[in-house]
Every structure is written in C-alpha cells, then in structure tokens.
Amino acid sequence: MQRTAAEPGRDLGALSSSGESASARPAACEHGCRFFMDEACAHKSDMDKVGVTVKFARNETIYSKGDEAHYSYKMIEGAVRLSRIFADGRRQIVNFYLPDETFGIELSGEYTSTAEAVGDVVTLRCPRLCIAQLTAGNPDISQKRLAMLSKNLAAAERHVAMLGHQSAKERVASFFLALEMQRRTESEGMLDLPLSRQDIADYLGLTIETTCRALSELKRQKIIDAPSRRRIVIRDLAGLQAIAEGDV
C-alpha cells in the first residue's frame, strides 16, 4: 500500500512495501528530485504530493555525531539545531536550520554533529546514494549541491569569526541580523525566534545570564523590543548592524 502521509522518524520515500533498501532511490525521483528543487518552489504542499516527508517531534534526535551518514535533509517546517557535547558536559550549537535550508550533507561517511528538532519539524530526507547518482549524471544538480556545501561553509566561517572576535552584545546583534535576512513574518522587523534562550546562548558561546543581559541592553538602547520570549522586534536596524560590526 502506498503511504501518503509522513510518520515520525521514517523516510517514506526510501522504504517500499517490498522491503527495498533505505539507500535506494526514492519514488519521488520518478517525478523529479524535490531535494534540489529551487527554494522558491519548495513548499510543504509540493512535498506532500510526493509523500516522502519525515516528521520529528520536539527535541527528537534526527541523527547523532558519529552515526553513518546515510541521508541528507531539506527543511520544510520548523527549526533544527546541530550541536556537539564536550567531555565536561558543555554543549556548543554549531548551526541551526530553517525552512528551505539543507543539512546533513557530509563529505565523510559519518555525521560530524548531532541534529535535533527544536520544535515539531518536517523535513525531506534523501539518501546520499541517490544524491551521488544524481550529482554524477547532472551538472546542474552537481552545481546545486556545491552551492549547498558552500553556503554551509560560509555560515561556519561566520560563526567562528563571531566566537573569536565579538563581544556578547555584538554576538546577539549578529544573531538577530542573521534572522532578519531569513525573516518570514510579513511585519517589518518582526522576528520569530527559532531557538530558546538557552539554545541561543549555546550557539553564541555564552552563558544564558550573559545572553539575557545583552538582550536587556539592546532593549534599553531601544534597538530591539521583545513582546514575548519567542518574538523580537527590531526597532533600529542600522543601530543593530553598527553594534554587530563593532562600530559603537
């Protein structure tokens, strides 16, 4: 029987009723690869037509550091955090992903970080074997895959620069500027926070107390407002950018 809806933690396109291998090409490829669909077209309704979406619940682990990297993922709904845990128990969030973004595109055979769903998440999960086959036979797909890798590398470089050179307030300002570039609310300057305060602190390499103090300082300067814990309003975009760049 053909599946038409996503189940938690299951790849509906990689498994068939005949017990087909999880690394086989998904049935979706018969209708065109949705993983490399242009971002402007990658809406959940488009994905549902094919039936290969995968759902994860809040805080559910999608994959762990060191697991064999069988799949790559494209975000449809929600937010995902990538993290590493140090020997002393500290957590560093190395990146987070929002709708239309891709993650789990590894060059080695293992995942280098742990991926978790921040809230309820819907993703498109594509076997790496399928991606490799598509890349080998299609220069356009190969270019898109390279662009995905380049985007993730650029984000990692910005993160390293932020952790190495910016003050706490500059890091928080840079975080909000990055969200502004990906803003999905219609209200100008309105940001829906994809991460909790603790997640933000772990991403910025700060304690939660320091993060909250930086937020309070930005509010005191009337750079931002915080109508709720999951929403930020940018009141002075130029001022926020000046802080992020260390000009004030």
Q: Where are the domains of the chain?
A: 27-163, 166-244
What was the pLDDT predicted at 239?
Answer: 94
What was the pLDDT predicted at 207?
Answer: 94
Determine the Cα–Cα distance for residues 237 and 235; give it in Å rounded to an integer: 6
pLDDT in tens, 42-95: 455 555 554 478 999 999 999 999 999 999 999 989 999 999 998 888 899 999
Phi and psi, residue 13, nearest 5°:
-95, -20
What predicted TM-score, i.e. pTM, was given to this entire model? 0.77
Q: Which two tokens stand for residue 212?
A: 């909250």
What was the pLDDT predicted at 173?
Answer: 94
Determine the Cα–Cα distance for residues 75 and 140; give it in Å rounded to an integer: 21
pLDDT in tens, 198-242: 999 999 999 999 999 999 999 999 999 988 888 899 999 999 999
Cα 131 from chain centroid? 19
Question: What value does the mean pLDDT of the chain take?
Answer: 80
CATH of domain 166-244: 1.10.10.10
Dmax (CA) of the chain: 63
Q: Which two tokens stand for residue 102?
A: 């891709």
Tell whether the torsion through CA atoms of 60, 65, 69 and 74 is positive or negative: positive
Whole-angstrom CA distances from 63 to 6, 92, 111 are 18, 16, 8
Query: 110: which DSSP letter?
Result: B
Output the DSSP codes for 120-148.
SEEEEEEEHHHHHHHHHH-HHHHHHHHHH
CATH of domain 27-163: 2.60.120.10
Residues present in the chain in total: 248
What was the pLDDT predicted at 100?
Answer: 85
| Residue 7 pLDDT level (bands cut at 50, 70, 90) | very low
Quick check: 175 pLDDT over 70? yes
Sequence-separated (6 or more) residues with CB below 8 Å from residue 235: 189, 222, 223, 224, 225
Q: Which two tokens stand for residue 218?
A: 């930005």
pLDDT in tens, 124-154: 888 888 888 777 777 887 888 888 888 888 8
Helices 208-220 and 168-181 cross at an angle (nearest 10°) of: 70
Which residue's structure tokens are 């959940």?
44
What was the pLDDT predicted at 154?
Answer: 85
Lowest-confidence region among 1-5, 133-137, 193-197? 1-5
